[in-house]
Structure 1
């Protein structure tokens, strides 16, 4: 187990690399030179985010078109969750800077689900969604340099709180059918001087619901692999497609899904594979002693969210300790009690490593 790479081999560095190429400057370190060299020069970049497609999942029989264009593996940001890593891409900064440091995020008075933006009682939270992440974000910095950003995402995400948090600027282009996604992306990429962000959530949904051995997972792998192949085949000469993911997945059998009732004074949040702990640590240690987890002190987590120091409100959202679930284990607790087939959030290679895919005419 190690902290993610934020110096040149991570998702944040890929975002920074594209920003530097499009506007000539960056706020985080770009990719290491050997990784940057795998991406040809272009005047428009199509960044494809395959939700839940870890690098090790490219061994799937239906992932051939993706595997063919794999150049390397990158590290997702911690925790290896969608909202954390989409915020990293949207800002080109690590969680220690942008502050959305976990899926279940601790506010001063409650824990908030950052996909749906309600608390653990199911009540919506009053948040300035458009102002939640630091300004300017990457699309705003690109816009100031004359570079347009387009966001191609499912219709159901349009106007949602999460979409407002992530994509407060840029041109939104929703799609209702997956078959519309690539044509929309190619239309946006037809002009030079653009960043086109294409979000494909299909693999993640199937992995959560049915697991990586299921027919539905294979079907969704074929769908996204075909989308990548179609995108690569249709790119104009000035455009480069770069594919990656926000995290990978691990399957957890029913017997590995452990339900925990925290003792009084202990707050559990974060996710299922890396449970964050705040409050009464003496009681929390007693609880953890009977669980299939590794106890991690806050002092051992330096660098997990990015370079120190952790800035501003992000620092107040961090835990006092964490429970890293053993292999084949997921932890459930109040507010995080829905059992799934697939999980993520931890620091195993399956969850941390995401692919770097590149295609160009």
Structure 2
């Protein structure tokens, strides 16, 4: 099977730093021995701004609409696999790939549910719900700190006295995913609009303190515009302009002893080829559950059925997807060089990675708004995997 030149196969990943390298670089900036491949200047305070959906390829294509982002761009890194928010943010905060922390996608099976067979549930990690993003809350059964038991680098930094502040929408505070990804309570400043974010960062940095401070800020609207209207659409381009002005405003107000680091959790592609699992004859034969997202599917098969399912899915999907068994996924280190036994059990018996602009839909099982979205991410294309790193040292 020939590869698209736009695809970053696992064998090509070693040349890129990832989101898991960003927090170690910030830790270096706070005075630790330099170990990271993402150089950040020594700083007393760091503001880490994550723009959901800010892909490097999309930024290249629309550089004229984002002069500040383009001017401050320092490096291009890889989101990690899969290129999706739940995995990327957890990797960013843990300073480790998902083979260690265990949030291996938008949704997956865990080893925590004692129910086996067809009734065994999947966990939507971003919404912390059973089976679907609009399903019943899973907090009663799936304790976030048990599903993601590794405190990670953020907790280690906090334990060394680095003060942590979150500037994010109030709705995320205390959610299942937030508990799994952000293992430090920190100070929480509710912020929904760019003006809120700017004010929240200012408030976090205003008090005089001898301690190092990490301010993590997050804005979801670029990702939302891409999903709803398509990446590169007029609505998306308008939102990119808002991001550019926000970053310019933060940079202009940044104190002299602080550094601004901006990155994204994934890019995005416009889907134009849909292959539906639920309405393709016998696609679910021998399958207990399908999880993940429409660009990367975890396929959990019935005992003894994996080889037949593998053959059938490979025939149906053809050149539109890679379909490989768990052993190959582990051997090629898709989820990182070290995958714990617990995490390995969460990976599908088969993993299907869509190619080009294909999505693998479930029109009967997934919520219609998700199925019908034009913008998607998760897989191996450069448009999904590559994200920029922007750095600005304060001058105020």
Cα deviation code 1:296-348 (max 9, x no counterpart): 3334322111113x114211111222222131211112543522110000011
How far apart are 1:218 and its partner, in Å? Answer: 1.6
Q: Distance in 2 between matches of 1:299 and 1:166?
A: 27
CA separation of 1:248 and 1:283: change in aligned 2, threshold 3 A: same
CA separation of 1:143 and 1:340: change in aligned 2, threshold 3 A: same
Q: Distance in 2 between matches of 1:177 and 1:247?
A: 21
Aligned counterpart in structure 1 of residue 125 of structure 2, from 114, 119, 141: 114
Aligned counterpart in structure 1 of residue 90 of structure 2, from 87, 104, 112: 87
Aligned to 2:381: 348
How far apart are 1:23 and its partner, in Å? Answer: 6.3
Do 1:250 and 1:344's aligned partners in 2 also have CA atoms closer than 8 Å? yes
Describe the SS at the equivalent of 2:90: helix
Aligned counterpart in structure 2 of residue 179 of structure 1, from 173, 187, 195: 195
Aligned to 1:139: 154
Do 2:310 and 2:324's aligned partners in 1 also have CA atoms closer than 8 Å? no
User: Does 1:2 find its partner at 2:2?
Assistant: no
Q: Distance in 2 between matches of 1:5 and 1:15?
A: 19
CA separation of 1:358 and 1:243: change in aligned 2, threshold 3 A: same
Aligned length: 351
Task: Indicate the larger mover: 237-246 or 275-284.
Answer: 275-284
CA separation of 1:7 and 1:171: change in aligned 2, threshold 3 A: farther
Aligned counterpart in structure 1 of residue 29 of structure 2, from 10, 16, 21: 21
Aligned to 1:219: 238
Task: Indicate the larger mover: 315-324 or 290-299.
Answer: 290-299
Do 2:322 and 2:353's aligned partners in 1 also have CA atoms closer than 8 Å? yes
Q: Distance in 1 between matches of 2:154 and 2:223?
A: 25
CA separation of 1:354 and 1:240: change in aligned 2, threshold 3 A: same
Q: Distance in 2 between matches of 1:205 and 1:9?
A: 26
How far apart are 1:225 and its partner, in Å? Answer: 0.9
User: Does 1:42 find its partner at 2:46?
Assistant: no
Aligned to 2:177: 162
User: Does 1:123 find its partner at 2:139?
Assistant: no
Aligned to 2:67: 64
User: Does 1:263 find its partner at 2:284?
Assistant: yes
Aligned to 2:204: 188
Do 1:263 and 1:284's aligned partners in 2 also have CA atoms closer than 8 Å? no
Aligned counterpart in structure 2 of residue 296 of structure 1, from 324, 327, 338: 324
Q: Distance in 2 between matches of 1:230 and 1:139?
A: 26
TM-score, normalised relative to structure 1: 0.90
Q: Distance in 1 between matches of 2:217 and 2:150?
A: 22
Cα deviation code 1:126-182 (max 9, x no counterpart): 222244323433332112111111111112222322222222422111113331102
Instruction: Kindly name which structure, 1 or 2, has the bigger radius of gyration based on alpha carbons.
Output: 2
How far apart are 1:72 and its partner, in Å? Answer: 1.5
Q: Distance in 2 between matches of 1:316 and 1:25?
A: 35
Aligned to 2:225: 206
Do 2:47 and 2:258's aligned partners in 1 also have CA atoms closer than 8 Å? yes
Cα deviation code 1:74-125 (max 9, x no counterpart): 0111110000011111211111111111111112431111111111262222
Cα deviation code 1:20-65 (max 9, x no counterpart): 3336379xxx422xx41xx221111111111111111113132221
Aligned to 2:116: none
CA separation of 1:325 and 1:136: change in aligned 2, threshold 3 A: closer
Describe the SS at the equivalent of 2:388: strand
Unaligned runs of 5+ in 1: none
Unaligned runs of 5+ in 2: 1-7, 112-119
Aligned counterpart in structure 2 of residue 328 of structure 1, from 334, 351, 357: 357
Task: Indicate the larger mover: 225-234 or 105-114.
Answer: 105-114
CA separation of 1:250 and 1:142: change in aligned 2, threshold 3 A: same
Describe the SS at the equivalent of 1:86: helix
Describe the SS at the equivalent of 1:289: helix
Q: Distance in 2 between matches of 1:6 and 1:15?
A: 18
